[in-house]
């Protein structure tokens, strides 16, 4: 009798391999695993819905719908459904409903995955009469870092509501041999003035503190001969920091003292064509004139040679002249004691190395510097200082001057004295002497004028109700710069934007600073400038959208809005109008538009989202593009058909009697 073969020595035949695969498929495609996957997905969707309704949509997207684990879980459920079908191979007729149902579910899930990964959802705010927009603002906030011309670029989402970045839990971007980290977050940023000791070429600076039991303290740095920080305008009171010029010698001829103390009044103005209401005025000699200046860059001013028109207003007197005729000349303002002197034109204004410059000859940001010259007046505000053009530069922008005396306060009383505008206001002058000593002169509307020497850290009374003034610090030579910091009592000038505290590390060196949302920041590096941005992502479009009209329908007899309607115009890349559509509630517009475009999901769908009650020429649209939309429709239809087959047709295998 031949010996029986050993079981261990028999090779596994193809049937055994198929049986092993089938066993794996039965486990991987089991109903139990499907129930676990579905239960977790349902729970995640419930959490996402609650977070979206009670907190914010972007939070739900970051932690649930767009999270990598959620996409992976959907993919795992698809694999489970496919495995459950192949575990029943070969398929029979009674498997038809089962297969159709599972195939529909898989296609539906694939459509959801494609929509989450490659879909677009954002917003677009349009204003009537403005240029078309060709980008969307996406939901969520991100930090982006790139080096040089963008050869290397990294992006990471920043979630501020539940998990803001901290020094112990930063958001890190790694680029080449450098690291960019988001260390902290602030809801509001303010401008912080930083003063450090400088060299012999830098001007004096002092820190002034005003206190009153009835008001918040005022803490401000004043810089001698600085166009922006030489004074403080408090409305009812004016504070100025000036050089202390010695009086004329006693042996001088009669009248010499008076003539030495009188100089032609001079006020320097900076005005900007792109920001007509943000001009800067600084009285160099004498008091502020209160003249309002507007620089109009007319539609015909398309080149530097045109320059635009300067308009001045003082009480009932107006002055208007083309800038081309004003530059380098002194022009008398008829009916007033003033003369206008055009100093310099800047086609593309910037502040570089503490000086105003034009970075190009293209009129991107036209600005004008000119003087208002008047009759002799006591030299107070800056009589020993250089012209404003020599000290115009701090690192802050001229249009954000906290200390300059703005135009528009009461000024001229008739034409006898161009400096009568401050007669009804309290006034404090602080003088810096050649020996570094400080003294003050204070005028009050209700008390007699006072004056005296200033002792560092000791309060004195300017005669303004219960206000006390104290000089806490003084530098003979100071460097003044401004930087962003979280808004606080010290940084009372807010910028109206949140910010991130960012650290850039490269080659053993580290730089840390606050950056504002929507404003790019540059960090120096060996391989080029590091460009770091915090804000919403922009999605470019290959077409433009413009708002032709926006209507608000009111309920009859009331001012309550009943509906909104936007008339949109779509333009191609060449700027030619190709489509016009109206959008209102539950009536979106698609672009490109063709029959059944809504079922495919490949077009951008524009829906009415919100409006601005303060500006009825503005509308906000929600924009969506879901390339998986057609798969969702097909999958849903197959799911319904499969359920119908399983429960109503009930096909079963043919049984043959033996």
Nearest to 161 by CA among 60, 65, 241, 229: 60
SS3 state at 335: coil
What integer pLDDT is reported at residue 397 of this predicted model? 34
H helices of 436-492, where? none
Per residue in 169-196, pLDDT (tens digit) is: 888 888 877 788 899 998 888 888 888 8
Place of tokens 């009650």: 613
Query: What single string gives the DSSP state of each residue in 385-409?
Result: SPPGGGS---SS-GGG-SSS--TTS
In sequence order, the β-bridge partners of residue 368 are 271, 345
More confident of the two residues 127 and 244: 127
SS3 state at 587: strand
Distance CA 309, CA 290 (A): 20
- Proportion of the chain above pLDDT 90, given as a percent: 7
Place of tokens 């070429």: 201
What integer pLDDT is reported at residue 7 of this predicted model? 40
- pLDDT range class, residue 304, cuts 50, 70, 90: very low
SS3 state at 306: coil
CB 224 within 8 A of CB 242: yes
Reply yes or no on whether the pLDDT at 330 is more than 70.
yes
CB 60 within 8 A of CB 52: yes
Least confidently predicted of 101-110, 248-257, 372-381, 636-645: 248-257
Distance CA 518, CA 477 (A): 35
Report the relative pairing of strands 205-212 and 189-197 from DSSP bridges: unpaired
What integer pLDDT is reported at residue 544 of this predicted model? 92
Per residue in 46-56, pLDDT (tens digit) is: 888 888 777 77
Q: What is the 3-state secondary structure (H, E, C) of 78-115?
A: HHHHHHHHHCCCCCCHHHHHHHHHHHHHHHHHHHHHHH
Task: Tokens for 179, please give them.
Answer: 């690291």
| 562: exposed, middle or buried (Cβ count in 10 Å: 0-12, 13-18, 19+) | exposed
Nearest to 383 by CA among 241, 238, 198, 204: 241
The residues near 101 (Cβ < 8 Å, ≥ 6 apart) are: 638, 639, 642, 643, 645, 646
- pLDDT range class, residue 414, cuts 50, 70, 90: very low
CA atoms within 13 A on the CB side of 227: 28
Q: Is the dihedral of CA 295, 300, 304, 309 positive or negative?
A: negative
Nearest to 521 by CA among 487, 489, 483: 483
- For residue 472, the tally of other CB atoms under 10 A from its CB is 12
Task: Tokens for 48, please give them.
Answer: 């996402």
CB 498 within 8 A of CB 143: no
Q: Is the dihedral of CA 594, 596, 602, 603 positive or negative?
A: positive
Reply yes or no on whether the pLDDT at 303 is more than 50.
no
What integer pLDDT is reported at residue 545 of this predicted model? 93
pTM of the predicted protein model: 0.55
- Tallying the residues shown for the chain, one arrives at 658
What average pLDDT does the structure give for the chain?
A: 76
- Proportion of the chain above pLDDT 70, given as a percent: 80
Give φ, ψ of 205 to 5 degrees.
-150, 150
- For residue 171, the tally of other CB atoms under 10 A from its CB is 21
Per residue in 607-622, pLDDT (tens digit) is: 988 888 888 888 999 9
Distance CA 608, CA 624 (A): 12
| 441: exposed, middle or buried (Cβ count in 10 Å: 0-12, 13-18, 19+) | middle
Cis peptide bond N-terminal to 55, omega within 30: no
* 411-432: average pLDDT: 55
Per residue in 90-133, pLDDT (tens digit) is: 778 778 888 888 888 888 888 888 888 888 888 889 988 888 88
Distance CA 49, CA 205 (A): 56
Reply yes or no on whether the pLDDT at 267 is more than 90.
no
Place of tokens 């829906």: 607
* Angular region, 353: left φ>0, alpha ψ -120 to 50, beta rest: left
Q: Where are the domains of the chain?
A: 14-119+631-649, 121-135+539-628, 192-249+258-484
Cis peptide bond N-terminal to 90, omega within 30: yes
């Amino acid at each position: 009798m031949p010996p029986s073969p050993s079981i261990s020595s028999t090779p596994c035949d193809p049937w055994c391999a198929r049986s092993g695969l089938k066993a794996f498929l039965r486990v991987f495609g089991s109903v139990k695993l499907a129930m676990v996957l579905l239960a977790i997905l349902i729970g995640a969707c419930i959490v996402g819905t609650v977070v979206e309704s009670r907190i914010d949509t972007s939070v739900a997207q970051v932690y649930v719908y767009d999270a990598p684990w959620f996409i992976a879980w959907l993919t795992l459920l698809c694999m489970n459904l496919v495995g459950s079908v192949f575990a029943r191979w070969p398929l029979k007729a009674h498997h038809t409903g089962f297969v159709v149902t599972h195939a529909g579910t898989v296609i539906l899930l694939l459509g959801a995955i494609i929509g989450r990964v490659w879909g677009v959802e954002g917003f677009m705010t349009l204003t009537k009469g403005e240029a078309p927009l060709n980008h969307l603002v996406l939901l969520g906030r991100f930090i982006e870092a790139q080096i040089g011309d963008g050869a290397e670029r990294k992006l990471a989402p920043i979630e501020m509501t539940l998990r803001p970045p901290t020094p112990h839990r930063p958001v890190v971007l790694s680029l080449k041999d450098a690291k960019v980290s988001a260390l902290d977050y602030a809801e509001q940023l303010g401008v912080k003035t930083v003063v450090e000791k400088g060299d012999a070429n830098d001007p004096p600076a002092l820190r002034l503190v005003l206190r009153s039991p009835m008001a918040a303290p005022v803490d401000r740095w004043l810089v001698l001969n600085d166009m922006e920080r030489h004074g403080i305008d408090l409305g009812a009171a004016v504070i100025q920091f000036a050089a202390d010029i010695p009086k004329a010698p006693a042996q001088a001829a009669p009248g010499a003292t008076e003539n030495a103390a009188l100089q032609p009044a001079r006020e320097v103005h900076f005005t900007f064509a792109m920001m007509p209401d943000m001009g800067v005025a600084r009285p160099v000699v004498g008091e502020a004139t209160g003249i309002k200046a507007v620089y109009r860059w007319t539609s015909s001013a398309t080149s530097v040679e045109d320059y635009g028109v300067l308009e001045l207003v003082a009480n009932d007197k107006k002055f208007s002249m083309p800038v081309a005729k004003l530059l380098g000349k002194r022009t008398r303002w008829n009916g007033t004691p003033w003369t206008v002197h055009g100093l310099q034109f800047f086609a593309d204004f910037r502040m570089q190395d503490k000086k105003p410059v034009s970075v190009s000859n293209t009129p991107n940001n036209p600005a004008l510097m000119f003087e208002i010259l008047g009759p002799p007046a006591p030299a107070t505000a800056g009589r020993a200082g250089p012209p404003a053009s020599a000290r115009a530069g701090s690192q802050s922008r001229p249009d954000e001057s906290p200390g300059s005396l703005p135009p528009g306060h009461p000024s001229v009383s008739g034409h006898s004295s161009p400096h009568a505008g401050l007669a009804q206001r309290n006034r404090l002058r602080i003088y810096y002497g050649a020996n570094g000593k400080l003294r003050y002169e204070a005028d009050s509307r209700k008390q007699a004028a006072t004056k005296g020497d200033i002792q560092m850290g000791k309060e004195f009374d300017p005669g303004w109700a219960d206000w006390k003034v104290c000089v806490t610090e003084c530098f003979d030579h100071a460097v003044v710069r401004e930087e962003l910091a979280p808004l606080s009592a010290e940084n009372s000038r807010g910028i109206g934007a949140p910010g991130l505290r960012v650290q850039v590390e490269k080659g053993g060196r580290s730089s840390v600073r606050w950056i504002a949302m929507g404003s790019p920041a540059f960090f120096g590096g060996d391989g080029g400038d590091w460009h770091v941005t915090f804000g919403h992502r922009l999605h470019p479009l290959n077409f433009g959208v413009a708002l032709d009209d926006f209507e608000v329908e009111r309920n009859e007899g009331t001012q309550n809005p009943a509906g909104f309607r936007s008339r949109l115009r779509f333009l191609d890349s060449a700027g030619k109008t190709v489509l016009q559509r109206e959008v209102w509630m539950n009536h979106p517009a698609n672009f490109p538009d063709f029959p059944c475009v809504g079922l495919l999901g490949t077009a951008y769908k524009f829906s009415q989202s919100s409006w601005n009650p303060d500006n009825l020429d503005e509308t906000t649209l929600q924009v969506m593009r879901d390339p998986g939309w057609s798969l969702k429709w097909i999958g849903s239809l197959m799911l319904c058909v499969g359920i119908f087959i399983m429960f109503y047709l009930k096909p079963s295998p043919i049984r043959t009697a033996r």
